[in-house]
Homo-oligomer: A and B are copies of this chain.
Amino acid sequence: MTTNNESTGLNIALAQINFLVGNIAANVNSIVQSATYARDALKANLIVFPELIVTGYPAEDLLLRKDFIEEANNAIHQIAESINDIALVVGFPELADGKLYNSAIVFHNGVTLACYRKQALPNYGVFDERRYFTAGTQPCVFEFNGTFIGLTICEDVWQKGIIESAKDAGAEILLTLNASPFNLGKAKQREEIICAQVKEEQIPLVYVNQVGGQDELIFDGASFIVNAQGDVVYRAEEFTEQIGVVKFDGNTPIPGQCAPLHGKIDSAYRALVLGIKDYVLKNGFKGAILGLSGGIDSALVLALAVDALGCDQVEVVLMPSRYTADMSNEDAILEAEALTVKHHIIPIEPAVNAFNGMLTDVFADTKKDTTEENIQARSRGVILMALSNKRGKLLLTTGNKSEMSVGYATLYGDMAGGFAPIKDVPKMLVYELARYRNSISSVIPERVLIRPPSAELAPDQIDEDSLPPYPILDAILERYVEKDQSAEEIIAAGFSREHVTRAINLVDRNEYKRRQSPPCIRITTRAFGRDRRYPITSGYRGIKEKS
């Protein structure tokens, strides 16, 4: 086969692909197939892959395994030998002289043209790169088809100085390999920061991000190319695998597809759907199950799960108790029917009665308290886990971020499950997402959107008996959990001392519950999990007790 795509200039493909952490063999196949497609179908003469794509990102402590690193380094040779007539830029963990680098290697027709070592290693938020990698210290520029191309990796282009040093080293175009996780507004922020730097340095930049869900993290893709004037001239779809190509006239990218950036609610919804889909499929589950209460949280999770997996892959269980309102059951059935998923109804009374009977003697002379409420929630947990075990389906928990912040949930009860899709979604955003989903097609009864939220674990219970109203609670939590504001700052911003005290005390005291909760899909700038690492044993109180 003859290819003419190398003859002159640059035709750069951006491989916005969904890879699997740890499966090097599969990733190598995917790299070779993508490069072949880019060369043959898109006439690309250079293809850029995301950061550390050979191992997937983040591979965490797999990077400490000698066998794993050897396999990844061997894989690079295998890729180099597998394809000709197109240059590949591939991210991998480079082992050299006993040190590990987060590197980008370039090869063409089996020859290595360059290898760049990431200089800026993020070690904050969800990132632990200094746990694994040694920082590079040099820019790296290579010549290809008459153009001098500089290499950078992710964090490099968020910091001042590294783009400049690549330009100083002779780069006429910059390639950036990324594993840049999503949060609300991230795609816009990313472009603003990088375009501003590019504009200052007057050098076009090709930004390639991976796409897909990996435990807590969502990678949104949204790869782009910005010209030397700082204008975005190409943008890949968000949340979608896509191999795009852009032709360069000298150093100038010729404007191509520019997929629009989605709005906040739209992108949150897409992120959650992708997160569920990838967690279920990459972990080999035969679908998902969840408990449907008739409340807004489980209604939203059901819609997300069906949009992610299809209605035939999702199964729901209604588990009413004596405290469950009739309308809760009615609404839950309407939700299941609207999305045509299989539903079961298993009242929990027999288990609850059995436990209460078994505990009669040891609980003699004690008063009823949350213990009895928890028994109800845990009886549901046992039923759901039994179904999950028997069917091989992932149990999705339906708790939201507001509840998980203040510990308004039962360990091993409604918190039971393998994945917590909306654990990073505050309650008010749950409502917005539900309304958004209904605007596409009506799947959640209007009554569910307007009823006061209730755990239905005691007669006439509503959440606001124990918690500040959700609009207030969510605003306080955003300040305390995401922005690390102090109680006094939050009060000074106009919130009542009573609400702030209540909310903060609950957040401080419930770290132990969150520590045992399933992983979520991170959509904010501070999710519970790897992103917020608090001690359980802690004398810190965000608000001091009155003495």
Contact = CB atoms under 8 A, between A and B. Distances in A.
Contacts of A538: 20-23, 62
Interface stretch (A221-229, A254-262, A348-356): A348-356
Interface in A406-432: 411-412, 416, 418
A355 B539 contact: no
Nearest to A363: B390
A427 to B, nearest CB: 23
Contacts of A344: 361-362
A359 interface: yes
A67 B278 contact: no
Identify which of A124, A215, A283 gathers the most chain B CB atoms within 10 Å of its CB. Answer: A215
Contacts of A61: 532-534
Interface in A480-531: 484, 486-489, 512, 515-519
B214 A537 contact: yes
A252 interface: no
Identify which of A60, A346, A347, A535 gathers the most chain B CB atoms within 10 Å of its CB. Answer: A535
Contact of A385 (B65, B130, B279, B411): B411
Given A123-B130, A412-B416, A371 B351 contact: no
A59 B534 CA distance: 7
A358 interface: yes
Given A351-B354, A351-B355, A354-B350, A283 B536 contact: yes
B67 A533 contact: no
Interface in A201-257: 213-215
Contacts of A58: 535
Interface stretch (A35-43, A89-97, A375-383, A440-448): A375-383
A214 B537 CA distance: 6
Nearest to A342: B362
A386 B416 CA distance: 16
A371 B353 contact: no
A387 interface: yes
Contacts of A123: 123, 128, 130-131
Interface in A42-74: 56, 58-62, 64-68
A193 B506 CA distance: 45
A366 interface: yes
Contacts of A351: 351, 354-355, 358
Given A355-B351, A537-B279, A65 B378 contact: no
A29 to B, nearest CB: 12
A278 B539 contact: no
B381 A412 contact: yes
B68 A540 contact: yes
B412 A390 contact: no
Interface in A100-120: none
Interface residues of A, number: 86
Contacts of A340: none
Contact of A375 (B23, B62, B386, B533): B386
A125 to B, nearest CB: 9
Given A23-B540, A351-B355, A371-B389, A484 B516 contact: no
B214 A535 contact: yes
Contacts of A124: 131
Contacts of A370: 389
Interface in A293-351: 344, 346-348, 350-351
A188 interface: no
A521 to B, nearest CB: 12
Contact of A537 (B64, B278, B375): B278
A357 interface: yes
A535 B412 contact: no
Contact of A516 (B518, B537, B542): B518
A452 to B, nearest CB: 26
Contact of A386 (B60, B66, B359): B359
B378 A382 contact: yes
A487 B71 CA distance: 13
Interface of A: 20-24, 26, 56, 58-62, 64-68, 123-124, 128, 130-131, 213-215, 278-279, 282-283, 344, 346-348, 350-351, 353-355, 357-359, 361-363, 366, 369-371, 374-375, 378-379, 381-383, 385-387, 389-390, 411-412, 416, 418, 484, 486-489, 512, 515-519, 532-542
18 contacts: A62-B535, A64-B484, A68-B540, A123-B123, A123-B130, A278-B537, A350-B354, A359-B383, A359-B386, A363-B386, A363-B390, A366-B390, A371-B386, A378-B381, A382-B382, A382-B412, A385-B411, A412-B412
